[in-house]
Amino acid sequence: MSIIDIDKWQEIFYALKKNKLRTFFTAFGVFWGIFMLIIMLGSGRGLSNGVSQGMGDMATNAMFMWTQQTTVPYKGFPRGRRYNFNNDDTQALIDNIPEIEYIAPRLQVFSAGENGNNVVRGERTAAFTIQGDYPDFNLIDPVNIHQGRFINDIDIKQKRKNVVIGTRVFEEMFEPDEDPIGEYIRIQGVYFRVVGVFSSKKNDQQAERENSQIFMPFTTMQQTYNFGNIVGWYSITAKEGYKVSQVLEKAIDIMRERHSISPADERAVGSFNLEEEFRKMTTLFTGIDGLIWIVGIGTLLAGVIGVSNIMLIVVKERTKEIGIQRALGAAPFSIKSQIVIESVFLTTIAGYVGLALGVGVLELINNILIQTNASTDMFNNPEVDFNKAISALVILVIAGAVAGLIPAQRAVQIKPIDALRDE
Amino acid sequence: MAQLLVIQFLITTKDNRIDMISLNNINKTYFTGSNSLHVLKGVDLNIEKGELVSIMGSSGSGKSTLLNIIGMLDNYDSGEFHLNGEFIQKMSEKKAAYYRNKFIGFVFQSFNLISFKNAMENVALPLYYQKVSRKKRNIKAMEYLEKMGLAEWAEHLPSELSGGQKQRLAIARALISEPKVILADEPTGALDSATSMEVMDLFHEINDMGITILIVTHERDIAAKTDRIVKLKDGIVDSIISNGERKKWLADQVMA
Ligand SMILES: Nc1ncnc2c1ncn2[C@@H]1O[C@H](COP(=O)(O)OP(=O)(O)OP(=O)(O)O)[C@@H](O)[C@H]1O
Ligand SMILES: [Mg+2]
């Protein structure tokens, strides 16, 4: 029983062609099942892609911590007090929390002054956000370096007046064919040398915002813009094997201690646990995926049951023919395999068309999204990965075989003579 | 060549006296709902190798039933049935299929050709179940079509053939696996008398090759062309009429 068995295929095509409309509707059930499964899987992927690409390459084991007003009076201080993190806090965090992988104290200067423009180069002026950062920041929330480099340790130590500019900044402040490296721009009255150009790894407005940023050494910013030893906020990642929530808890305790904040004050130290949020999101998407498979397999199952039903009818119609074949010495296995192969063939062809069309439609949607720039944080790059497509196909073949099993059994259950007598 | 075969067979049968078909007190009852119909009530019948035997009897006397049991298309309730010396009882469908394919060729009143296969493919079908390659079986099918004078119809579908042609096609199909027994249930029932005689001539030729043939028929002149006529009545063998001593005469010729 080889696959390239003309007689077998002759019989299959004869059976399928004999009642074209019926074959079509049967095939359509399976086609629709797999088509919907693919579309849904692709959309689910689009959702998760949208969200995860919105995060770029940001470390998912990260946390952020910033200052807010106190909400509980403590040690003689009234509530509503403001305070700042400082360089000593940074050292205290490093010293007391060995679970910290990277720690990036950060500062930010927004555009200020009349009409908001804070960056000048020759005739050109524009408004950009200025970030004061440590090299570690590029490990926590990385950007693509196009030219030059990111902030380095020497910049920090020597408080150099170097900056790394986003692509939007480059476009605004330079001619397209200019080499910005080594050039100077004036930021709020102070000249800085450009040492690198970066682009965001995120998409959409987030990328737009990042590309309009300028990174300068954290220490330079503290000194140049009179921050003293103030730290704006922290980005911190936990070492592998440690939970971010543990690090966060410790960090908050240390800050409370160091800034005379009541242990009962839940609001004074603001924080965000990205790991936790990411976990919730992953769970959500796993849930969505699971739901899609359940619904998709259900739809597919309906299609397959349709195939099984039709095969039963086909067997009934072919009773006499099967009787003749058995009178001529066809073994039961030969008859059964014929029915099963027919079922698998119908299911697989219909399923394959559904698969191809589903992937095609997803591709089309993706193209439209790209062309119209419509991809968002919510929906981006809908696709089905190869493995899922293959598993869908495998499921189809198995389903086809299962659908053919009962009809095949039915075909050989009846005595040959009764089959022959059938009119 | 054909005569040589017959001689050889006669010598062996004389020594061993093995019957090709041996039926001993065969019983068969059909059950339909609450009704039961005792069709065969103890049939005893022996058919020697190389015999050409006809079965007659009124409609409903159980001729087809008997033939189907011999062809292993149906099973019997009690008694003993030997085919070529082998005891045939309830067996797996796989084994039955093997016997049908190897030992038996069927010819039916309604031809039972496969409508979507052409003449050649129809003839070749039994070899398909023996897993003979398509090329080989088609070559052999063409040989048999030629013998039946149907070579030029090889590519035609059964629906494009006359009744006589269809029956010759069916006979070719029954022969291709070189069976020991041909079972024909009213093979001329759907043919005019001239075509019927042609078919009978064909059966004689096949019989001369040494193949045992059992024909169920209603027609006297068909039965008259066989060695023996078995008459079924009320579920038993009523009488057996010998139709001349053709075989014996031939054997005497050889001995002398
Ligand atoms: N599958 C069956 N179920 C029930 N009864 C059956 C079945 N097959 C045959 N019979 C009955 O058994 C009896 C013998 O049938 P059978 O076909 O052997 O007769 P026959 O001698 O071949 O008749 P005919 O000359 O009309 O072909 C009939 O009465 C028939 O109705
Ligand atoms: Mg009959």
Residues A220 and A128 in one domain: yes
**Structural domain boundaries in chain B:** 50-69+92-255
Q: What is the CATH number of domain B50-69+92-255?
A: 3.40.50.300
Q: Is residue A129 part of a domain?
A: yes
Which residues does chain A have within 8 Å of residue B101's beta carbon, measured at their own beta carbons?
328-330
Out of A224, A248, A265, a domain closes at: A224
Q: Please give the pLDDT value at position A259.
A: 94
Which three-class secondary structure state does DSSP give residue A50?
helix
Q: Is residue A252 part of a domain?
A: no
Residue found by looking up tokens 């030059």 in the block = A148
Ligand at minimal distance from the CA of B56 is 1
Which three-class secondary structure state does DSSP give residue A213?
strand
Residue found by looking up tokens 């922290």 in the block = A234
Of A214, A252, A222, A223, nearest in space to A236 by CA: A252
Q: Please give the pLDDT value at position A112.
A: 60
Burial of A204: CB neighbours in 10 Å, binned 0-12, 13-18, 19+: middle
Give the count of beta carbons closer than 10 Å to the beta carbon of residue B28: 22
Give, as one character, the DSSP assignment of residue B190.
Answer: T
Range of the domain at A143: 110-224
Q: From the centroid of its chain, how far is CA A279? A: 13
Q: Please give the pLDDT value at position B125.
A: 93
**Tokens at B35, concatenated:** 């009704």
Residues A217 and A116 in one domain: yes
Q: Please give the pLDDT value at position A386.
A: 76
**ipTM for the assembly:** 0.84
Instruction: Report the sign of the C-alpha dihedral through residues B199, B200, B201, B205, in that order.
Output: positive
The tens-digit pLDDT sequence of chain B (256 residues) is 555 555 555 544 444 557 899 999 999 999 988 899 999 999 999 999 999 999 999 999 999 999 999 999 998 999 999 998 888 888 888 989 999 999 999 999 999 999 999 999 999 999 999 989 999 999 999 999 998 889 999 999 999 999 999 999 999 999 999 999 999 999 998 889 998 998 899 999 999 999 999 999 999 889 988 999 999 999 999 888 886 545 554 455 555 4
Burial of B17: CB neighbours in 10 Å, binned 0-12, 13-18, 19+: exposed
Which three-class secondary structure state does DSSP give residue A251?
helix
Residues A308 and A176 in one domain: no
Is A383 at the interface with chain B, CB within 8 A? no
The response to whether residue B235 sits with its C-beta less than 6 Å from ligand 1 reads no
Out of A159, A192, A224, a domain closes at: A224
Give the distance (Å) from ligand 2 centre to CA of residue B2. 32
Test A329 with B130 for CB contact under 8 angstroms: yes
Q: What CA–CA distance (Å, rounded) separates B116 from A278?
A: 62
Q: Is residue A83 part of a domain?
A: no
Is A421 at the interface with chain B, CB within 8 A? no
Test A325 with B125 for CB contact under 8 angstroms: yes
**Tokens at A12, concatenated:** 């299959």
Q: Please give the pLDDT value at position B70.
A: 94
Give the count of beta carbons closer than 10 Å to the beta carbon of residue A175: 9
Is A329 at the interface with chain B, CB within 8 A? yes
The response to whether residue B57 sits with its C-beta less than 6 Å from ligand 1 reads yes
* CA angle, residues B245, B246, B252, in degrees to nearest 5: 90
| Three-class secondary structure assignment of B148-215 | CCCHHHCCCCHHHCCHHHHHHHHHHHHHHCCCCEEEEECCCCCCCHHHHHHHHHHHHHHHHCCCEEEE
Contact A211, A125 (CB under 8 A): no
Q: Please give the pLDDT value at position B190.
A: 87
Contacts of A309 (CB under 8 A, 6+ apart): none
H or E element that contains A238:
strand A233-238
Contact B59, B217 (CB under 8 A): no
Atom of ligand 1 nearest to the CA of B62: 18
Which residues does chain A have within 8 Å of residue B125's beta carbon, measured at their own beta carbons?
325, 328
Q: Is residue A361 part of a domain?
A: yes
Contact B103, B181 (CB under 8 A): yes
Residue found by looking up tokens 């022959």 in the block = A420
B128-135 LR contacts (CB < 8 Å, sep 24+): B128/A7, B129/A325, B129/A328, B129/A329, B129/A330, B129/A331, B129/A334, B129/B97, B129/B101, B130/A329, B130/B101, B130/B177, B134/A6, B134/A7
Residues A361 and A298 in one domain: yes
Q: Is residue A73 part of a domain?
A: no
Which residues does chain B have within 8 Å of residue A327's beta carbon, measured at their own beta carbons?
71, 73, 100, 106, 112
Q: What CA–CA distance (Å, rounded) separates A331 from A335?
A: 7
Burial of B92: CB neighbours in 10 Å, binned 0-12, 13-18, 19+: exposed
Please list the alpha-helical segments (H only) found in A318-331. 319-327
Which residues does chain A have within 8 Å of residue B100's beta carbon, measured at their own beta carbons?
326-329
Size of interface A-B (CB pairs under 8 A): 70
The response to whether residue B32 sits with its C-beta less than 6 Å from ligand 1 reads yes
Q: Which residues of chain A have pLDDT under 70?
A: 1-3, 111-115, 373-378
Is A412 at the interface with chain B, CB within 8 A? yes
Residues A284 and A216 in one domain: no
Contact A237, A251 (CB under 8 A): no
Is A330 at the interface with chain B, CB within 8 A? yes
Number of domains in chain A: 2
Atom of ligand 1 nearest to the CA of B186: 27
Q: What CA–CA distance (Å, rounded) separates A216 from A238?
A: 25
Give the count of beta carbons closer than 10 Å to the beta carbon of residue A347: 34
Q: What CA–CA distance (Å, rounded) separates A47 from A380?
A: 7
Q: Please give the pLDDT value at position B14.
A: 46
Mind listing the pLDDT tens digit for each residue in A58-80? 888 999 999 999 999 999 899 89
Q: At what angle do helices A319-327 and B93-103 cross, to 10 degrees?
A: 60
Q: Which residues pair with B57 in a beta bridge?
A: none
